[in-house]
A and B are shown apart, each in its own frame.
Chain A
Amino acid sequence: MLRLLTLVRPKVLSLKNTLTRRVLLKRAPFIAAGIGFWMLLYLGTAKVLGFVREIPFLGEMLSAKLLSMTFFGLTGFLILSNVITALSSFYLSKDLPFLLTKPVEVRDILRLKALETCLNSSWMVISFVPPLFLAYGISYHAPAVYYLAVSLTFLLLVLLAAAIGICVAHILTRFFPARRIRIVILGAGMLLFLIFYFMTKSVIPQTAAAPEDLFRSLISFRTDAPFLPGYWITETLLPLLRGKAPDVFYLLLLLSNAAFFSLLSFSAGRSFFRGNIERLQPSGPGPGRGISGRAYPDRATAVLYKDVMVFFRDTGQWSQLSITGLLVLVYIYNFKTIPMDAMAGLTPLIKELMLLVNMLLAGLVLSAVAARFLYTAVSLEGEAFWIIRTAPVNISRFLWSKFLYGCAALTALIVLVVFFTNRAIGVTGPLMGISVGTTGLLCISVCGLGTGLGAIYPKFRYENIAAVSMSLGGMVFMLLAFLVVIVTLSLEAWAFFLWHAGPETEGKVLIGICTLLIAAINAAALLLPMKIGAKRLAEYSP
């Protein structure tokens, strides 16, 4: 234990040394954005819960189902995230050669890496779920013991997921090299998502005649099998929410499983870690000259040439690109199978509403994909960024080239998605034009925001580029991008509502103001971060 504390100490000290007053002040906007997101999540959950609980007969069941589905999803996400993080932490991290050449027992390295894995893979979930549980507690007027129970059960779930994830990582590395496994796991995650998705689709009838049919189908979706940790947590928390005594059996079940899997993961580590480390080999032979051998870039295409080469050789990149592609296909399929008849009873403007939902969802997909590929575009240079900084390259032009190539590809993808999904729900004519035009505008502004913020907060030292998009800066970008999308679409929806109500003079003025505001917000989202980003990069010292 003492040795573990010694090993953890440098990491704690590094964190402490980073958290100076100046850094905290610099991060104040991030903290404010995080608090804003918390509030939005709380308000959103409270609103949904309020609506759901008022549905006659089904309300309480739906509310319990939503809680159960949340834990079901969180368990899957945490286990998958732990497997990927454990692979990096135990087998790919840069401090391994240092640790392995010091007089440190393997068991202490295993403990240190287990702690790292658990914290690194869970911090984001731990940071973002409290408003959700708070909304449940307040909605049900739960006693203080509920908050204690929710903290304890969630902590046990985090430990259990980490232990399972670490176990799987050790066993997989026994059979495959670690770098390949990470891709295998990403593929497995994608498969799990698709299974989950099609299971969901299969329980929602495409020919439902009324909204109640959708709710009934949702309730029948089995996320609460007795052998799942999510079920144990739901069974512990629900009685507390309803003012009854909790079922301690399920809490003990969770505790014993967390303890058992922790021991199992440690045992798997003792058996496999040393052998796995010794079997890890450096990369194989080079790719040969191929097509790239004949291509000679010029000054304008130099960065593109280099980025394309690096992108397609980095298996972590293309595996995520394929995941994105599959998600987009699922997205389009989703719109083709929307039960429009069942939803027509909700509002007469169902087509317009679905168009708005489509653009909103496309905006969210755009933000997520931009976070992964545009926000990381500058950081992708890594520690080789000195090459750009010492070359006769205008940094502003370098940044715009990063923006242009990424934006062109992403705009083409998202605009096509919106076009085909609009067609799937029967949108044509001027509405189609406005929708595609707005999506194109959002693509440009969100890509500019991503590239610019990525340049303002570059992270050139990383072990996995995907982690850069999950950093604090990446999260802030996602929140700001959501904000741009939501504000733009809200203004456009309002303008549409005014136009639909009748072409009064006052309405025309307001529509004009909305259009100007949309233009101003999107221009600011594009230009300001790009300008500040170029300035920051020009001053950056690698």
Chain B
Amino acid sequence: MIILDNITRSFDGVRAVGNLSLNIARGEVFGLVGPNGAGKTTTIRIMTGLLRPDEGDVTIGDFSITREPVKAKSILGYVPDRAFLYEKLTAREFLKFIAALYGMERSVTPGKIEALAGTFGIGDIMDELIEGFSQGMRQRLLFAAALMHDPKVLLIDEPFMGLDPFGVRMLKDFIRDLSAGGVTVFLVTHSLHIAEELCHRVGFINKGALTAVMTSEEIGKSEGGLEGLFLSLGD
């Protein structure tokens, strides 16, 4: 469902990501972990089309993000690590706007908004301006927005930032349900215990290069789990 084909990206001569290749199957939850500055966010930004790779390509479903960006983005949902939103819109207006951007049928939109607002626990604040939202509420709204158009691929950068324990629990269950429904989830995180709990496979990235990819079984068998592997691979 997601193919990263030898992608490379440099900034002012400094290589942020180099020759990174990955193949992620439909319904798989894939986690990318690595130390600060390893190239995780650059990778996910290339996958969303926010950055263009210097070399290589990313395929989402059947579409190249560089050659057919509009088609690729139409089956993609993205939750960034920093929740910059339109502060002067209400949550409901924001979701309507998102629905329109993705070309959703008007008849479907109200029901979908209500359903997602209920799922993410923001039903009571749907008609309040986003500028008054807490970090956790913004994160919930971002998830609702990313899922409005029923994406086939969900890319998440630091998914649990600002969420309370109830939110974390709810989101973990939700990601599992999405995966079971055939949605491919790619997440970048520093929360190693959650990645270990959720992901079918975890990739380790350091200095822009993918150093290892391990399945959940392999991680489970290793001493110290994902944290132990992270520390040993980081050296």
Closest chain-A Cβ to B108's Cβ sits at a distance in Å of 10
A283-B132, A309-B89, A384-B86 given; A390·B100 CB < 8 A: no
A293 contacts B by Cβ under 8 Å:
yes
Contact B84 A384 (CB under 8 A): yes
B80 A386 Cβ-Cβ under 8 A: yes
Query: Does B85 count as interface, using CB distance less than 8 angstroms?
Result: yes
Is A382 among interface residues, defined by CB-CB distance under 8 A?
Answer: yes
Residue of B at shortest CB range from A385? Answer: B84
B90 / chain A contacts, CB cutoff of 8 Å: 286-287, 289
Q: Which single residue of chain A is at the shortest CB-CB distance from B103?
A: A299
A292 lies within 8 A of chain B by Cβ: yes
Partner of B70, one of A287, A289, A392: A392
Q: A282-B132, A301-B100, A309-B93 are in contact. Are A392 and B73 (CB under 8 A)?
A: yes
Give per-residue flags for A290-325: 1 if the beta carbon is below 8 A from chain B beta carbons, else 0. 001101111101100110011001100000000000
Q: Which residues of B contact A387 (CB under 8 A)?
A: 85-86, 98, 101, 145
Task: Tell me the residues in window 84-138 of chain B with beta carbons closer than 8 Å to chain A beta carbons.
Answer: 84-86, 88-90, 92-93, 96-103, 106, 109-110, 125, 127-129, 131-132
Q: Is A389 an interface residue (CB 8 A)?
A: yes
Nearest Cβ on chain A to B229's Cβ, whole angstroms? 31
Whether B100 pairs with A297 at a CB distance below 8 angstroms is yes
Q: Given the known A-B contacts A296-B106, A392-B74, A392-B101, are A383 and B84 also in contact in the complex, defined by CB atoms under 8 Å?
A: yes
| In contact, A392 and B48 (Cβ under 8 angstroms) | no
**Is B49's beta carbon under 8 Å from chain A?**
yes
- Judging by beta carbons under 8 Å apart, are A296 and B70 in contact? no
Within 8 Å of chain B (Cβ to Cβ): is A207? no
Answer yes or no: B71 CB below 8 A from chain A CBs.
yes
Verify B103–A392 contact, CB threshold 8 A.
yes
B50 CB within 8 Å of chain A: yes
Task: Find chain B residues with CB under 8 A from A288 CB.
Answer: 127
- B52 sits at the interface (CB 8 A): yes
Query: Which B residues touch A286, using CB under 8 A?
Result: 90, 125, 127-129, 132
- Give the complex CA separation of A306 and B95 in angstroms: 11
Q: Is the CB of A391 within 8 A of B132?
A: no
- CB within 8 Å for A384 and B85 given contacts A389-B49, A392-B103: yes
Q: Collect the chain A residues with CB atoms within 8 Å of residue B71's CB.
A: 392
Number of interface residues of A (CB under 8 A): 37
Report the minimum CB–CB distance from B53 to chain A (whole Å): 12
Q: Which of B52, B88, B102 has the most CB of A within 10 A?
A: B88
Once A288-B127, A292-B93, A305-B96 are accepted as A-B contacts, the answer to whether A391 and B88 lie under 8 Å apart by CB is no
Known: A313-B129, A391-B73, A392-B73. A297 touches B97 (CB 8 A): yes
Asked if residues A389 and B50 are in contact (CB atoms below 8 Å), the reply is yes
CB-nearest residue of chain B to A301: B100
B residues 200-219 in Cβ contact with A at 8 Å: none
Q: Does A226 contact B (CB under 8 A)?
A: no
Q: Closest CB-CB distance, B91 to chain A, in whole Å?
A: 9
Residues in A with CB closer than 8 Å to B45 are: 541
B231 at interface by CB-CB < 8 Å = no
Is B170 part of the binding interface, using a Cβ–Cβ cutoff of 8 Å?
A: no
Q: Is A393 an interface residue (CB 8 A)?
A: yes
Q: Within 8 Å CB of B49, what residues of A?
A: 389-390
- State whether the Cβ of B22 lies closer than 8 Å to any Cβ in chain A: no
Is there an interface contact between B93 and A542, defined as CB atoms closer than 8 Å? no
- A301 CA to B106 CA in the complex, in Å? 12
Q: Which residues of B contact A297 (CB under 8 A)?
A: 96-97, 100
Range for the number of chain B residues in contact with chain A: 35 or more
* A539→B132 contact, CB < 8 A: no
Give the Cβ gap from A402 to chain B, nearest Cβ, in Å: 14
The CA-CA distance from A315 to B84 in the complex, in Å, is 20
Q: A56 on the interface (CB 8 Å rule)?
A: no
Cβ 8 A contact of B100, one of A285, A289, A305: A305
Residue A394 lies at the interface, judged by CB distance under 8 Å to chain B? yes
Taking CB as reference atom, which chain B residue is nearest A389?
B50
In the complex, which of the residues A283, A389, A393 contacts B129, with contact meaning CB atoms closer than 8 Å? A283
Q: B92 and A306: CB pair below 8 A?
A: no
B107's nearest neighbour on chain A, judged by CB, is A296
Q: Are B100 and A302 in touch, CB under 8 angstroms?
A: yes
Q: In angstroms, how far is the closest chain A Cβ from the Cβ of B113?
A: 10
- Cα distance A296–B72 when bound, in Å? 25
B127 to chain A, nearest CB (A): 5
Please, how many angstroms separate the alpha-carbon atoms of A384 and B49 in the complex? 15
Contacts of A292 in B (CB 8 A): 93
Chain B residues, Cβ within 8 Å of A389: 48-50
List A contacts of B128 (CB < 8 A).
Answer: 285-286
Report Cα–Cα, A306/B90, bound state, in Å.
10
Complex CA distance for A394 and B52, rounded to whole angstroms: 16
Q: Quick one: given A310-B86, A390-B73, A541-B45, are A299 and B100 in contact (CB under 8 Å)?
A: yes
A390 touches B52 (CB 8 A): no
Do B127 and A289 touch (CB < 8 A)?
yes
**Given A286-B127, A299-B103, does the pair A306, B74 have CB atoms closer than 8 Å?**
no
Distance, CA A240 to CA B102, complexed state (A) = 68
Return chain A residues, CB-CB under 8 Å to B74: 392
Residues of chain A with a CB closer than 8 A to B103's CB: 298-299, 392
Contacts of A302 in B (CB 8 A): 97, 100-101
Q: Smallest distance from the beta carbon of A301 to chain B beta carbons, Å? A: 7
Check B106–A310 contact: CB distance below 8 A.
Answer: no
A183 to chain B minimum Cβ distance, whole angstroms, is: 15
Q: How far is the CB of B131 from chain A (nearest CB, A)?
A: 6
Question: For B145, what are the chain A residues with a Cβ–Cβ distance below 8 Å?
Answer: 387
Distance in Å: Cβ of A520 to nearest Cβ of chain B? 33
- Residues from chain A with Cβ under 8 Å of B82 in the complex: 383
Task: Annotate B179-223 by CB proximity to A: 1 below 8 A, 0 otherwise.
Answer: 000000000000000000000000000000000000000000000
Determine whether B51 belongs to the interface, using a CB cutoff of 8 Å to chain A: yes
Bound CA–CA A410/B102 (angstroms): 29
Which of A296, A306, A393 is the one whose CB lies under 8 Å from B109?
Answer: A296
CB contacts (< 8 Å) of A283 on chain B: these are 129, 131-132
Q: Knowing that A288-B127, A387-B86, A392-B71 are A-B contacts, what are 20 other residue pairs whose CB atoms are under 8 Å apart, sorted by A's residue number?
A: A283-B132, A287-B127, A289-B127, A293-B127, A299-B100, A299-B101, A299-B103, A302-B97, A306-B93, A310-B86, A382-B86, A383-B82, A386-B50, A386-B84, A390-B50, A392-B70, A392-B73, A392-B103, A393-B73, A542-B50
Contacts from A to B (Cβ < 8 Å): 282-283, 285-289, 292-293, 295-299, 301-302, 305-306, 309-310, 313-314, 382-384, 386-394, 539, 541-542
4 tightest A-B contacts by CB? A302-B100, A286-B128, A383-B84, A392-B74
List 23 A–B pairs whose Cβ atoms lie within 8 Å, in order of A's numbering: A286-B125, A288-B127, A289-B90, A296-B109, A297-B100, A298-B100, A302-B100, A305-B97, A310-B88, A382-B84, A383-B82, A384-B84, A386-B80, A387-B85, A387-B98, A388-B101, A390-B78, A391-B73, A392-B70, A392-B72, A392-B73, A392-B74, A539-B52
